[in-house]
Amino acid sequence: MQAGLESLGIAVPPTYVELAELAKARGVAPGKYVDGLGVTRMAVPLVEEDTVTLAARAARMAMEAAGCTPEDVGMLVVGTETAVDHSKPVSSYVQGLLGLSTRCRVFETKHACYGGTAALLLAMDWVRSGSAKGKKALIICSDIARYGVGTPGEPTQGAGAVALLVSDKPKLLAFEAGKTGAYAKDVMDFWRPLYSKDAVVDGHYSVQCYLDALEGAYKAYQEAAGDTGGEGSYSDRFAALVYHVPYGKMSRKAHRHLRTLDGDKEPDTSFDRLVGPSLMLPSQVGNIYTGSMYLALASLLSCSREDLTGKRVGLFSYGSGSCAEFFSAVVQPEAQARVKALGLENLLEKRRALSIPEYEAIMAAREKLDDKPAEETPGEGFRYQGTRDHKRIYAR
Ligand code: ACO
């Protein structure tokens, strides 16, 4: 049985910071952030928004695009590294907001930026095995990337969610069964310790860990696909390559490494053709952790001028700590028109720029709100009054 993406949806905060402005405020040459890191704008969520409302808004877009009702969904998994609770998953709040059935399997996955990919691979196996019995899986990647004001990671923040509706009727992408290569290694490159909401990161080491994982996963993919040999670069079997994008420059480094592994003497010459269109939306949003590679995929389908129908796309997902996957999918007829119809570029255009003092005030207020103990009101069971009014924000 086939399995793949029937539709997708995206949610981003209504506000962002221009990285050139942030650079000026930090006494850094704007070229370092814009060209050196390859990011133009980074999304900043308003204090009242969290991973729950971002996830639910993205899911609403994916479900509406496919005409999917709550009863059609048999599995909901949220991949996130921005949990709202040590125990209760983001997905349960999302289930409530979307009105999904009590028969739906609902849980959360965590492995840094890889959590959504783990859920997606599981959902594809669930569909292929026949266990889904015609139901669809809703996989949502939702995160708020935070390194803290004034740190080297600050210009690589962002926020957003990508929802992927997985079914046996792939209208966007059909994933290639068995063609996946995994790589995992216990490394301390990036983590979010219990005492902190901001990430702790050894930035330059994390770049090396990413590249090592790419090499391992790419080689594992080639073995799994069993089609090595032949003329030219192996990666020319793909019409496009979509990498995990913590910032645009990382994709360039990844592509250069992959083409060098292919034996390409001029590893950067294919970058604009194979990678360029996937970076247009990420350069306007920044890092959204679990959703980053999927935002890049949406960007490819929305912004590429090439007709990709029937062509193969290579996907590389990396989660610090670490686990990575290289896998592939074939673009379905009308996929690009369907994603274009979502109006993702317009969605980003409608956002409002924050001044640097406004952004800093939001970061400080968010820290305070997150630390506020929840008010608990005994009632039917024990009713939890969260720090954010999810229903009101979702209803907008
Ligand atoms: N004009 C143009 N380019 C410039 C300028 C300038 N004026 N100044 C510097 N640059 C370039 C540098 O040459 C460098 O490019 P290169 O990487 O091709 O050599 C780039 O800008 C960045 O400069 P660095 O000095 O390396 O920047 P810094 O040390 O401040 O940190 C880093 C960069 C490590 C990416 C940091 O932002 C970080 O820690 N980010 C979070 C970690 C991360 O995203 N890791 C990725 C993998 S793990 C994950 O996905 C979370």
In the chain the domains, ranked by start, together with CATH numbers, are 4-389 (3.40.47.10)
Q: Is 70 in the pocket of ligand 1 (CB under 6 A)?
A: no
Residue 375 has pLDDT above 70, yes or no: no
At 163-220, the pLDDT tens digits run: 999 999 999 999 999 999 999 999 999 999 988 888 999 999 999 999 999 999 999 9
Distance between Cα 181 and ligand 1 center (Å): 28
Q: What is the residue with the minimal CA distance to atom 21 of ligand 1? A: 36
**If you average pLDDT over residues 245-262, what whole number do you get?**
98
Task: Check: CB of residue 159 under 8 Å from CB of residue 44.
Answer: yes
Ligand 1 atom closest to 147 (CA): 41
- The amino acid that residue 33 corresponds to is Y
Q: What is the pLDDT of residue 198?
A: 87
pLDDT band at 39 (very low <50, low <70, confident <90, very high): very high
Q: What is the pLDDT of residue 382?
A: 55
Which one of 22, 26, 28, 32 would you pick to mutate in the ligand 1 pocket, going by the greatest count of ligand atoms within 8 A of its CB? 32
Q: CA-to-CA distance for 271 and 259, rounded, in angstroms? A: 10
Q: What is the pLDDT of residue 348?
A: 97
Mean pLDDT, rounded, of the chain: 95
Q: Is 298 in the pocket of ligand 1 (CB under 6 A)?
A: no
Residue 230 has pLDDT above 80, yes or no: no
Q: In this predicted structure, which of 231-235, 277-281, 360-364 has the lowest mean pLDDT?
A: 231-235
Q: CA-to-CA distance for 304 and 335, rounded, in angstroms? A: 12
Q: Which whole-number Å values give the CA distances from 296 to 71, 83, 129, 245, 304, in the listed order?
A: 30, 23, 28, 7, 11
Residue 153 has pLDDT above 80, yes or no: yes
Residue 96 has pLDDT above 80, yes or no: yes
Q: What is the pLDDT of residue 186?
A: 98
At 303-354, the pLDDT tens digits run: 999 999 999 999 999 999 999 999 999 999 999 999 999 999 999 999 999 9
Q: Cα–chain-centroid distance for residue 374?
A: 29
pLDDT band at 152 (very low <50, low <70, confident <90, very high): very high
Percent of the chain at pLDDT exceeding 90: 87
Q: CA-to-CA distance for 249 and 254, rounded, in angstroms? A: 9
Cross-strand bridge partners of residue 113? 111
Q: What is the pLDDT of residue 195?
A: 87
Residue 384 has pLDDT above 60, yes or no: no
Distance between Cα 11 and ligand 1 center (Å): 26
Q: Is 188 in the pocket of ligand 1 (CB under 6 A)?
A: no
Q: CA-to-CA distance for 8 and 5, rounded, in angstroms? A: 7
- In the chain, how many H helices and how many E strands? 14, 16
Rg (CA), the chain: 20
Q: What is the pLDDT of residue 278?
A: 98
**If you average pLDDT over residues 2-16, what whole number do you get?**
97
Residue of 154, 215, 244, 325 with catalytic role: 244
Q: What is the residue with the minimal CA distance to atom 50 of ligand 1? A: 246
Q: Is 28 in the pocket of ligand 1 (CB under 6 A)?
A: no
Q: What is the pLDDT of residue 358?
A: 98
Q: Which whole-number Å values give the CA distances from 212 to 207, 259, 281, 325, in the listed order?
A: 9, 14, 26, 12
Ligand 1 atom closest to 28 (CA): 7
Q: What is the pLDDT of residue 224?
A: 96
pTM over 0.80: yes
Q: What is the pLDDT of residue 54?
A: 97
